Amino acid sequence: MADEKQSLRQMIWDLMERTNVASFPRPVHGRIPNFVGSRRAAENLASTEEFRRARVIKVNPDSPQRPVRELALRAGKLVLVPTPRLRGQFYLLDPSRVDPGYASSITGFTRVGEKIDVESAPNIDLIVVGSVAVSPGGFRVGKGEGYSELEYAMLREMGKVSDSTPIATTVHDVQVVSDVPHMPYDVPVDIIATPTRVIRVSPRRPRPPGLLMEYLSDGKVQDTPYLKAYLQRTGRWPRRS
């Protein structure tokens, strides 16, 4: 499964570079790839009822989702941007206190965002994730580190999101593929916005209810201090034989 996912990532990264739909920063290999038309994809997402209705939107920190962060701030929404590698904190962007153009950038949100703990974060109305590839059936692959899935699982456990919280991604049309291999801990999306269309996943895919310990390696726990501390606090680490 891991090899299949990596082959798919490599295919998409190569295709985006070869066809010049990749955008700065390049090369896109090893990244959530930025793409030509990311602004239009964000506008298509912003046209959905889920986006309009949301008061608090969590958006990944990667370059292709900068237009999503900016449009959300300009629409008067609170934006939560996670710190890298599951450090247990968010940058909270309040549209009444920041400039949307600047605060939506990586430099901007790290400088002007209020850093808050996960426990202090407001409940989230819409999640926007980055993808390397995504299928119309709702399954996606990121860049392969697995932090997005762990973050979602912990937010579920803490009651910050629910099973009904919509999840969206913005991608170039070439990133939409017929099928994506998936595991039980993978988090599917409900909405795929590209520069040309909005794809609604139907039927809606079930998502993990929290951390699935049977798929969580000791190495990943040891390498992620916030996750380890959370598991210790909830009595699930060290594992009981």
Does pLDDT of 241 surpass 70? no
What does the pLDDT read at residue 73?
Answer: 98
Lowest mean pLDDT of 52-56, 68-72, 143-147, name the range.
143-147
| Average pLDDT score over residue span 111-119 | 94
84 — pLDDT class (breaks 50, 70, 90):
confident
pLDDT at 100 over 90: yes
Outline where DSSP puts E strands in the chain.
56-59, 78-82, 89-93, 114-117, 126-129, 133-134, 140-141, 167-170, 191-193, 198-200
Least confident window among 1-5, 155-159, 232-236? 1-5
AA letter at 116: I
Check whether domain 36-233 has CATH 3.20.20.80, yes or no = no
Asked whether the predicted pLDDT for residue 217 surpasses 80, the reply is yes
With beta carbons less than 8 A apart as the criterion, state whether 103 and 93 touch: yes
Tell me, rounded to whole angstroms, the distance of Cα 171 from its chain centroid.
Answer: 12
> pLDDT, tens digit, for every residue of 152-207?
999 999 999 999 999 999 999 999 999 999 999 999 999 999 999 999 999 999 99
- Residue 115 β-bridge partners: 91
Q: Residues 8-22: pLDDT tens digits?
A: 999 999 999 999 999
Per-residue pLDDT at 2: 87
Residue keyed to tokens 């990133």:
175
Q: What are phi and psi of 25, to 5 degrees?
A: -85, 140
